């Protein structure tokens, strides 16, 4: 299994492995990631072995990293070939990220079939390059035939953490677990696993605005920003570097402000709370804006671009807070887009591949 660089590629890979493990208790798994990326920490935490390749993406401007790219690529291809040779997999699975390129290329060369999982509404470069030899490509959005061969596409949705598929926690109980007043509304702020500088700056600037609206704040600022923002912890504000119990966090929320990474979007569809997306402009192919737009087009969320926050945020937020009809409408529409059985459907496709492989031997 290979996918990494960001939580959006890593967590789906882990979810798929967990589901496969449930069906095949004695199966062996090996993850392959990029040496200095977060998968080298997150995958072992989930109980799986991982090997690292010396690989990184191309920068958009001429840098030393770009000059090193051909050397890194050759080194990664050689190492990936050796990994495939030693491990002798029955199937390979790629969830995006640079490391999956060399690994799946070498898997194909060794006649190992592979499945791709594309989380975003705008396909990543690695998956586009790997599509031609993939057996199946599992996607989360309509219209993906713009990037991939139509006959290989299966719309499954994105894998999400199993504890979020059915959140049965009572909202008041969830609020109390964060020591909030159970009767007052809670705004949940999510900046992705590493935090989002611009969202943190917005929240800091609007703290008194939120207070005048009588809101309580559950603010995930990210580990890089924890030092800077923990001073705002107060009776109505909880500041956390990371939220471990996402089921409780989502259950406590009345409103959500979030980045629009594929994983967050899929989770928020299941959760069904009124959401304002602030897409990151610093990601490849601006895919967060495209993810958020796909929901805005279904009247399932509000999107505010970073450059428009100062001018538009307060108006958008006040309008949302002041209209229960609008809140219900957004909740209903976002929930309609949820695909809760995504992990199971992806593993069904992998299983079909394994069975057809067994039948031909």
Binding site for UDP-N-acetyl-alpha-D-glucosamine: which residues?
6-8, 120, 161, 193, 288
Q: What is the DSSP letter of 161?
A: -
Instruction: List residues forming the annotated binding site.
Output: 6-8, 120, 161, 193, 288
Return the SS3 of 32. strand
Q: Which pairing describes strands 186-190 and 153-155: parallel, antiparallel, or unpaired?
A: unpaired
* CA 127 to centroid of chain Cα atoms: 16
Residue 255 has which token pair?
């409103």
Residue that the structure tokens 């990037």 belong to = 147
Task: Give dist(CA 6, CA 4) in Å, integer.
Answer: 5
Rounded to a whole number of angstroms, the CA Rg of the chain reads 21
Sign of CA dihedral 280, 283, 285, 290: negative
Name the region of 235 (left: φ>0; alpha: ψ -120 to 50; beta: rest). Answer: alpha
Residue 248 has which token pair?
């409780």
Residue 220 has which token pair?
């995930």
Residue 297 has which token pair?
């087009």
The CB-side HSE value for 198 (13 A sphere, CA atoms) comes to 17
Q: What is the DSSP string of 212-269?
A: HTT-EEEEE--TTTHHHHGGG--SSEEEES--S-HHHHHHH-SEEEE---HHHHHHHH
């Amino acid at each position: 299994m290979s996918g990494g660089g960001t939580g959006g590629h890593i967590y789906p890979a882990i979810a798929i492995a967990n589901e496969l493990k449930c069906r095949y208790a004695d199966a062996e798994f090996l993850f392959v990631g990029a040496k200095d990326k977060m998968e080298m920490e997150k995958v072992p935490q989930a109980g799986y072995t991982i090997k690292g390749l010396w690989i990184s993406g191309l920068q958009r401007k001429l840098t030393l990293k770009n000059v090193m790219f051909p050397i890194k690529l050759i080194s990664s291809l050689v190492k990936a070939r050796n990994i495939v040779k030693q491990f002798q997999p029955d199937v390979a699975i790629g969830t995006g990220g640079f490391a999956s390129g060399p690994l799946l290329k070498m898997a194909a060369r060794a006649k190992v079939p592979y499945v791709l999982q594309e989380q975003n509404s705008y396909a990543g470069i690695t998956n586009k390059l790997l599509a031609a030899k993939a057996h199946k490509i599992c996607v989360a959005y309509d219209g993906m035939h713009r990037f991939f061969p139509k006959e290989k596409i299966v719309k499954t949705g994105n894998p999400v953490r199993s504890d979020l598929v059915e959140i049965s926690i009572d909202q008041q109980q969830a609020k109390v677990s964060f020591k909030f007043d159970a009767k007052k509304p809670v705004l949940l702020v999510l900046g992705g696993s590493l935090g989002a500088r611009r969202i943190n700056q917005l929240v800091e600037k609007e703290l008194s605005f939120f207070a005048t609206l009588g809101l309580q704040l559950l603010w995930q600022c990210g580990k890089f920003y924890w030092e800077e923002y923990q001073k705002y912890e107060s009776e109505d504000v909880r500041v956390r570097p990371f939220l471990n119990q996402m089921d409780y966090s989502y259950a406590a929320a009345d409103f959500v402000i979030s980045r629009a990474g594929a994983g967050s979007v899929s989770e928020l569809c299941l959760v069904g709370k009124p959401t304002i997306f602030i897409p990151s402009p610093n990601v490849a192919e601006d895919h967060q804006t495209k993810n958020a737009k796909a929901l805005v087009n279904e009247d399932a969320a509000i999107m505010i671009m970073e450059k428009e926050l100062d001018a538009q945020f307060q108006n958008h937020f006040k309008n949302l807070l002041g209209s229960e009809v609008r809140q219900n409408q957004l909740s209903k529409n976002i929930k309609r887009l949820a695909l809760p059985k995504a992990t199971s459907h992806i593993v069904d496709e992998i299983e079909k591949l394994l069975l057809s492989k067994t039948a031909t031997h």
